[in-house]
Amino acid sequence: MRKAIVKPVIILGVGRSGTTLLHRLLAGHPQVSWLGRITDFFPALPRINSMVMRIIDMPVAGRLIAKKVKPGEAYTFWDYYCKNFSTTKRDLHADDLDRATKEKLYSAFSSCTTPARHRLLIKITGWPRLGFMHSLFPDALFIHMVRDGRAVANSRIKEKWWTGRQGPENWIHGTLPAKGMQRWEESGKEPVVLAALEWKNLVRAFEDSKERIAAPSLMHLRYEDLCENPGEMLSTILKHCELSEIDSYMREVSAGKIKNTNYKWQQEQHADLQEKLNAAIKDELIMYGYS
């Protein structure tokens, strides 16, 4: 008999927005189970993940395993149960999740947790897939991670996996509107401007989908605020996630330092390109409180 999954915590955001930072912070919480990269090697055997979670809780072996097995998005795992989940060229909504796929996914995820780590933690980047995830887990608690789109764009173009190098017709993040195409071409087809327009597409997709989700289940978190006040923000995050403020965990997290690297986009992009970035995503920057 499968276990019930109660109030899973789901992190959403554009890649390079600080989602990995938040994911790893929350993965250290002793009440949380997360997908390790081992699930990508053995997607048909989700119980292996629960075995890893049990080992992590062991005094000595746990620390050794925790250094080797890191939390990940486990897209091979997702794709095994839901074809093309990771490569969809549009956002996924509730009506994209059929009953059979829902049953398979829920059953697999229910095998990933342990009695001690009974709360499931998931991270998804790119398309928000908010409606899809809400249909799969109706009582899920979501955290939408946001970062200054100019810093996100500057970071994305350095990554080997960024598909924008082949132009917007070859990426998986939606059609570039005519106005966006014009801005990109006027910039001299600068990659960083295209990456900023991609960020715009993805955050707009999130804004469009969030109207279908009950407001209390959704938290917006800015990367910059987490960097500036990690202790205070972590308490707010745990409260939203309905996770306990366990002393040992809070001390360990507080001992670490979080460095805000947003300054790099201004150092690495010349003034003219900075102006083009500002113009390309002005409305979205204002929407999230960026000057």
In a domain, 252, yes or no: yes
Domain extent, residue 60, equals 9-287
Q: What is the CATH number of the domain that holds 88?
A: 3.40.50.300
Q: Decide: helix, strand or coil at residue 36.
A: strand
Residue spans of beta strands (DSSP E) within the chain = 9-13, 32-34, 119-125, 141-146, 218-222
In a domain, 126, yes or no: yes
Torsion angles phi and psi, residue 150, rounded to 5: -70, -40
In a domain, 152, yes or no: yes
In a domain, 204, yes or no: yes
pLDDT in tens, 158-214: 999 998 988 998 888 988 999 999 999 999 999 999 999 999 999 999 999 998 888
In a domain, 3, yes or no: no
Q: What is the pLDDT of residue 91?
A: 97
In a domain, 226, yes or no: yes
Residue by residue, pLDDT tens for the chain (291 residues) are 578 999 999 999 999 999 999 999 999 999 999 998 889 999 999 999 999 999 999 988 888 887 888 999 999 999 999 999 999 999 999 999 999 999 999 999 999 999 999 999 999 999 999 999 999 999 999 999 999 999 999 999 999 999 898 899 888 898 899 999 999 999 999 999 999 999 999 999 999 999 888 889 999 999 999 999 998 999 999 999 999 999 999 988 888 789 999 999 999 999 999 999 999 999 999 999 998
Provide the β-strand partners of residue 125: 13
Torsion angles phi and psi, residue 214, rounded to 5: -60, 130
Q: What is the pLDDT of residue 166?
A: 86
Mean of pLDDT over the chain: 94
Q: What is the pLDDT of residue 1?
A: 52
Using a cut of 0.85, tell me whether the model's pTM lies above it: yes
For residues 78 and 108, give the distance between their C-alpha atoms in angstroms, rounded to a whole number.
Answer: 10
Do the beta carbons of residue 222 and residue 146 sit within 8 Å? yes
Do the beta carbons of residue 226 and residue 22 sit within 8 Å? yes
Domain tally for the chain? 1
In a domain, 221, yes or no: yes
Q: Which two tokens stand for residue 106?
A: 């829920």
For the CA atoms of the chain, what is the radius of gyration? 19
In a domain, 145, yes or no: yes
